[in-house]
Structure 1
Amino acid sequence: MARQLNLDTVWQNFWKEEYLREKMLRCEWHRKYGLLVRAKQKAKAAARLPFTLPTLQPKAPVLPPPVPKAAPAKVPSPVSEASFQTEMYPVLPATRALLYEGISHDSQGRYRYLNTRKLDVPEKRYLFPITTNFTYGWQLGPPAKQELVSCKMCRIESFFRKNGAFAFLDPRDLAL
């Protein structure tokens, strides 16, 4: 469609009326629906703000009843005190010293520390099973060596077929 360059006063008045009519329609719409739109925008903005819980003031600590002076004072053991603070036993100083010797790239430092720590059984590292997965390996003892069955008919050497995926079954591929 070619552009008309010869705009006369009739065309100019037409476009002027169209522009004013669109402007009036926008003003009417804004007057009618503007408050609803602003309310929705405020609700969306309030939903995006993070919800914060009110802070509670700490309660006054309950004081235990006074201990009679005749009773001897108990010295808390480090293991029972550590159980309240962490779920792991403290690391031996010799094992901890491995952290500061060399770098992991040379199989020293953290790498050697973690490998040494990994060799300990979970009962020596943790005070109690932390997750339910720990129950599978908790207090199993040393691993028992399994002996292989000498019957060749019962053992399949490979999961895959020897003749390819789409070939016919070979009787040697089946355990009978």
Structure 2
Amino acid sequence: MDTLRQNFWKEEYLREKMLRCEWHHKYGSLVKAKQKAKAAARLPLKLPTLASKAPHSPPPVPKAVPSKSPSPVPEASFQSEMYPVPPATRALLYDGISHDSQGRYHYLNTQKLDLPESRYLLPITTNFTYGWQLGPPVKQELVSCKMCRIESFFRKNGAFALLDPRDLAL
């Protein structure tokens, strides 16, 4: 490398350094502000804690007017969405292991048999409203009429054959 080439690289290096200093002087404060905003966005959001308020007692009802209240709701804690689990059902959790169809497996299958309105205070999701308070399922017996039953969806004689009376459901 000769002197001419060395001077060229020296000037290039100094020019680049000056450009960087000018850019930093011009845009440095904006970059720092953006970095602070990103750092603040990464911090977890802290929500204020709400003090639990005691439920307000209802105003006294005059004795002359009989009050018609809906079905009495069993007492449950205000923070829970579910009724408390009966102790006999809760004991199933600690009896055996799920691998042997005991423990948690048996507990969940027992809970599944209860109706939702006996487990939850109110419908939690909109899907709950479809089956809320329908009562026990009703079995419908199939009618054993030979005329109403079709053995198969397809025609027995092929797609383009004339219709056979046995293929029709009348």
Note whether the superposition's TM-score is higher than 0.5.
yes
Q: Indicate the residue corresponding to 1:12 in structure 2.
A: 6
1:43 equivalent in alignment to 2:37: yes
Q: Indicate the residue corresponding to 1:106 in structure 2.
A: 100
1:97 equivalent in alignment to 2:87: no
Taking structure 2 as the reference length, what is the TM-score of the superposition? 0.59
Q: Indicate the residue corresponding to 1:26 in structure 2.
A: 20
Residues 116 and 129 from structure 1, CA distance in 2 versus in 1: closer, same or farther, beyond 3 angstroms? same
Which structure would you say has the larger Rg? 1
Residues 148 and 89 from structure 1, CA distance in 2 versus in 1: closer, same or farther, beyond 3 angstroms? same
1:121 equivalent in alignment to 2:119: no
Q: Give the AA of the match of 1:101.
A: D
Structure 1 residues 109-133: Cα deviation after superposition (integer angstroms, max 9, x where no partner):
1211222222223343334444333
Offset of 1:155 from its aligned partner? 4.8
* 1-structure distance, mates of 2:146, 2:88: 48
Residues 47 and 155 from structure 1, CA distance in 2 versus in 1: closer, same or farther, beyond 3 angstroms? same
* 1-structure distance, mates of 2:8, 2:123: 84
Contact 1:103–1:110 (8 Å) recurs in 2: yes
Offset of 1:105 from its aligned partner? 0.5
Offset of 1:16 from its aligned partner? 1.8
Residues 98 and 46 from structure 1, CA distance in 2 versus in 1: closer, same or farther, beyond 3 angstroms? closer
* 1-structure distance, mates of 2:41, 2:106: 50
Identity of aligned residues (%): 70
Unaligned runs of 5+ in 1: 1-6, 65-78, 163-167
* 1-structure distance, mates of 2:55, 2:117: 35
Q: Which of the residues 123, 127, 133 maps onto 2:127?
A: 133
Structure 1 residues 39-68: Cα deviation after superposition (integer angstroms, max 9, x where no partner):
333333334334445567x5997998xxxx
Deviates more, 1:43-52 or 1:148-157: 148-157
Q: Give the AA of the match of 1:14.
A: F
Unaligned runs of 5+ in 2: 58-72
Residues 22 and 100 from structure 1, CA distance in 2 versus in 1: closer, same or farther, beyond 3 angstroms? closer
Computed over aligned residues only, the root mean square deviation of the Cα atoms, in angstroms, reads: 4.1
* 2-structure distance, mates of 1:104, 1:31: 67
Q: How many residues align?
A: 147
Residues 62 and 120 from structure 1, CA distance in 2 versus in 1: closer, same or farther, beyond 3 angstroms? closer
Residues 85 and 42 from structure 1, CA distance in 2 versus in 1: closer, same or farther, beyond 3 angstroms? closer
